[in-house]
Amino acid sequence: MSFDMFKRLGSFGKKAQSAGSNAGQSVADAFGLKPGTSNPIAIDFGAGALKILQIEMKGGVPHLVAAACLQTPEDLVHDHTRRLEFQAEALPRLIRKGGFKGRRAVCAIPAWATLCRHLQFPKADGMQTGDLVGGAIAMQLQLDPASVVFRHIEVTSSTAGKAEVVCIAVARDLVGKLMKAITNAKLEPVGMHSEFHAVLPSFDPGTLKEESGSATLYLDMGTLTTKVMIAHGEKIEFARVCSFGARHMDEMVAKQLQVQLSDARRERDVQDERMQADPEGVLAELAKLRENRNSKSQAAKVGGTSRPTSGGAVAVADPNDQSRAGSRDFLPPQPDLAEAVEMLTDEINMCTRYYMTQGTGKRVERVVFLGGEARHKGLCQQIAKKLRLTARMVDPFARVSRSGSEPAIGVDLKETQPAWAAALGMCLSPTDL
């Protein structure tokens, strides 16, 4: 399949109305493509890492074929162009060495490049909703529909006579770069999914069916973004990309403690382990540190001699300060993510409030954490507590059968791997190109 063919497609397929649609067959028919039978290789061009996964189904159970992961160098995390070039160059080598089988490949549209918006527009007699999305993109997003590749998900609308969709779009030139990276690795692109579409298939269908009577909030916390999704079982009703992730928290901690990013990440890891063991104790320490900081700040304003703390987020007791009761009051500097949690939960609460205005009649009853940052269970517990929701952290590989001898480059499958949900979901999704 040539890139020129895909370029003329205009969108991922006009019949791709929702996850699991039959658009793949219509596109294959249009281009005369023969459906393949081999299990596709899923490629996730993430900001934090390039992830590659292949599974095969045996008796309805997914079995691991191979997995490979390449971490992003620190200096490339924020540089989208150079990072994608680095990943594209490494992809052929990982495919050769990783034990992957066949040439069919699917990939995810990276969240950092995804434009995700809810659009409302009047229904028109005799016209399909999909035919109206392009016009809504031009009118409401001020974008030329020909400049983007897009899909939409029809969601519940509380406004009579109007349709509402989640529009998921990406710049056409980026799609070209992804397709070129795949073909340069001597692979045949047969599918391309948004991360929203890819996540839900990674869950056990029975679990999703059981939860379809209520709403579930999914928080996919990655390196540069947090994806917020609300679904009724397998049906997506809300989606949004928040430009805040693990890297931003590392940068906040690095500024607070005046350390390198790698050290800031280790400090967060250590604190999270403490948070899991003694959340009340850690939160009490952080509250005391903030109190000390505020006291010194007030003293400085009225002409006191106390030094302001660097970074403004942690305070260190001055041993020469006679106002202290003694050394027992000293608290070592440590990461304070209260501001980060507040920012993120404010964004999430705005999302859930918008969802409630859609009139679905279903309350959000639980939050599911996934993505690389979900390994910080203490942080997830803080977020769930602020949201007042029961929480669940997931490991996508928990439902994948493994013998232990499968090739795995750069990933320890003995550990929980919440960042692999999109990759697994792509393996289990229908091909659509």
Q: 64 phi and psi, to 5 degrees? A: -70, 135
Rounded CA gap, 280 and 275, in Å?
8
For residue 174, which amino acid is it? L
Is 293:301 a contact under the CB 8 Å cutoff?
A: no
pTM: 0.84
* Residue 424 neighbours by CB distance under 10 Å: 27
Query: 134: part of which helix (H) or strand (E)?
Result: helix 129-140
Task: Kindly give, in sequence order, each residue whose CB lies less than 8 Å from that of residue 391, ignoring residues fewer than 6 positions away.
Answer: 366, 367, 368, 369, 380, 381, 383, 384
28 within 8 A of 409, measured Cβ to Cβ = no
Output the pLDDT for position 7. Answer: 33
| Domain definitions of the chain by residue range | 3-203+396-428, 211-223+243-393
User: What pLDDT is recorded for position 68?
Assistant: 98
* Cβ(45)–Cβ(109) below 8 Å: no
Q: What is the CATH number of domain 211-223+243-393?
A: 3.30.420.40
What pLDDT does residue 130 have?
81
CATH topology of domain 3-203+396-428: Nucleotidyltransferase; domain 5 (3.30.420)
Per-residue model confidence as pLDDT tens digits over 63-121 = 999 999 999 999 999 999 999 999 999 999 999 999 999 999 999 999 999 999 999 99
Phi, psi of 118 (to 5 degrees): -85, 130
Question: Dihedrals φ, ψ of 122, to 5°?
Answer: -65, 140
Supply the pLDDT for residue 299: 66
Would you state the pLDDT for residue 76?
A: 97
DSSP result, 28-65: HHHHTPPPP-SPPEEEEE-SSEEEEEEEEEETTEEEEE
Which residues make Cβ contacts (< 8 Å) with residue 205, sequence separation at least 6? Answer: 234
| Phi–psi pair at 391, nearest 5 degrees | -125, 155
Per-residue pLDDT of the chain (433 residues; tens, 9 = 90+): 333 323 333 343 333 333 333 333 333 343 333 444 569 999 999 999 999 999 999 998 999 999 999 999 999 999 999 999 999 999 999 999 999 999 999 999 999 999 999 999 998 888 888 889 989 999 999 999 999 999 999 999 888 889 999 999 999 999 999 999 999 999 999 999 999 999 999 998 888 988 889 999 999 999 999 999 999 999 999 999 999 999 999 999 999 999 999 999 999 999 999 998 888 888 888 888 887 767 766 666 666 554 444 444 444 445 454 444 444 556 678 899 999 999 999 999 999 999 999 999 899 999 999 999 999 999 999 999 999 999 998 899 999 999 989 999 999 988 999 999 999 999 999 887 7
Q: 210 CB contacts (<8 Å, ≥6 apart)?
A: none
| 15 membership: H or E segment, kind and range | none
The string over 72-87, giving b where at least 16 C-beta atoms fall within 10 Å of a residue's C-beta and e elsewhere, is: beeebbeebeebbebb
User: Nearest CA to 25 among 37, 43, 13?
Assistant: 13
Domain 3-203+396-428 and domain 211-223+243-393, same fold? Reply is yes
